[in-house]
Structures are given as structure tokens and as C-alpha cells.
Amino acid sequence: MNAQPHDLAAVESLLAFWRDAGVDACYADAPVDHTHIAPPPAVKAVQRATASVIPTGGPNAADAIVEARRLAAGAATLQDLAAAVAAFEGCPLRGLGATQSVFGRGDPKAAVLVIGEGPGAEEDRLGQPFVGKAGKLLDRMLTAAGLIDKVFITNTVFWRPPGNRTPTPQEQAVCAPFVERAFALLQPRAVLLLGAASAKSVLQTDEGVMKLRGQWKEWRLAEGAVSAPVMPTLHPAFLLRQPQAKRQVWADLLALSARLDGSG
């Protein structure tokens, strides 16, 4: 039997309500083993579209990293570095729907370097990191901790991953020379890492952010004798989904603030 038009409209409205309410699964009469369910068609389409252009450590990736290092080394200021990032063509994310590079915002002489994962849709539109809902939450928390005027904010990659997915380690590796140059130019007193992808990329670890957060680590560049204490914490986008975790991030920000004040 074919559904009537008004029935279809009602179904579409109900599905939209469920989606906005956070419903992401329907339950049948019998249990389903979700560990063996294939990704949705949209996810598979993105995977197919990006598989052939994401570097996997081959010659193209190596050449891109060499070029990134050359451009980064030539930047004498953070403004120069932003221009070098915009001119860099070696990151595959450039060709996957991003409209512009998104480098950083904040005080170019900041005491704290904040590193997130990658830009989203709002960041891609405005050309600045953390300006969407997650960014507004981050700013409110930094303000409450007395840190908002002491930070420079960037990401591990500078182009929006398709569908706001997590950047791959290969994409992060291609952009890493620019992140390291920002660290060397700024020479911050501390670094705040937002989210698992950021923590794993900067600290070169496989440990999860839940285990890393709240613990001081060290980031030391292989060249230039630049180092700083590092505090990994949860990403503000995660806090939008899990508000109860805000107390953990708040504790991390207070520890960071105390460290800057010399009392921590």
C-alpha cells in the first residue's frame, strides 16, 4: 500500500523530531550485533571519495611534509605562518570541500598555545578556528578561568575535513610542521590540547584522552630546544554532547591557570 502525501509529511516530521532529539537507532524485536554492521552509505561514500587522495605515508606524503617544513621554516611571525599555510597545497583536505585555510586566532604573544583537532563548517566559513558552538563554549570557559586574553588558538589541520570528521594521522602529519613552527615562534609557557586527535598527534601517543586529561606532559621539539608543559583535556564539542564532563575540563583549566600564576 502506498502512503498518502499527508502521511509521508507526518513521518518526515516525526523523523526530524527524533533526529533533533538525539535518537540514532531503532530497535527491533531481536537484538542486533552492531559490531558487524557496515557504515551508512553516506559514510562509505566519503571513505571512497577520500581514500584515493589521503596520503598513506608514500612518496606524495613525504614530499608534502618536506614542502611544509620549507614553508614553515621561512615564516618569521605567526602572520607569515598563516600566509604560508594558505599557500600550502600539500594537504589533501584542500581538495575535499574546504573553502579556505583556517590557521589561528588570539594573542600572537600568548602565554598559552591552544591546539584543537580541525575546523568545522562555521570555521571554514569565517576563516578562524573555534567560532562555532564549541568555540563559544571554549571562550566562555577560558574567560571564566581568566585565560581568554592569554591564548593563541589553532588546530592540528587547517582545512575542514569532510563531514566534520576527525582528521587522519596522515593529514595531521602533513600539517605538523606548521603546528611545530607556531609552537617555536610563540614559545608559550604552556600548551592546552583539546580532544583525543590533538593529544595523540602532538604527544605522539596512542593513549586515550580520558587517560591523558588532567596530567601534565611535555612537548619538546627535536630542533630549536623549544619545550613547554602540556595539559590534554576534553574537546568542547564533546562537552556539548556530555555536559556533565564540564567539571573535568574546568579542573584542567584551573590547573593551567595556577601553573601560569606560579601557584600550581
How confident is the prediction along the chain (264 residues), in pLDDT tens digits per residue?
A: 454 544 555 556 566 555 555 555 655 555 555 444 445 555 455 445 444 444 444 458 899 999 999 999 999 999 999 999 999 999 999 999 999 999 999 999 999 999 999 999 999 999 999 999 999 999 999 999 999 999 999 999 999 999 999 999 999 999 999 999 999 999 999 999 999 999 999 999 999 999 999 999 999 998 778 999 999 999 999 999 999 999 999 999 999 999 999 866
Domains of the chain (ranges; CATH) run: 54-261 (3.40.470.10)
Q: What is the pLDDT of residue 156?
A: 98
Positive or negative torsion for Cα 61, 63, 68, 73: positive
Nearest CA-CA partner of 156 in 83, 100, 103, 211: 103
Measured from the Cβ of residue 137, the count of other Cβ atoms closer than 10 Å reads 18
Q: How far is CA 25 from CA 2, 7, 21, 124, in A?
A: 25, 22, 12, 30
The pLDDT, as a whole number, for residue 35 is 43
> Which cell is 232 given?
590534554
Report the half-sphere exposure of 191 (CA within 13 A, side-chain side).
27
Taking every pair of C-alpha atoms in the chain, what is the biggest distance, in angstroms?
73
| 100 HSE (CA, 13 A, CB side) | 13
Nearest to 97 by CA among 57, 146, 53: 53
DSSP annotation of 121 reads: H
- Residue 131, classed as helix, strand or coil, is coil
pLDDT of residue 262: 84
pLDDT given at position 60: 87
For position 56, what pLDDT does the model report?
44
- Find cell 568555540 and name the residue: 135
Strands 190-194 and 151-155: unpaired
Q: Residue type at 246? A: K
CB 151 within 8 A of CB 107: yes
Choose among 18, 52, 49: nearest CA to 170.
52
Give me the sheet containing 217-220, strands edge to edge.
Answer: 105-106, 151-155, 112-116, 190-194, 227-233, 217-220
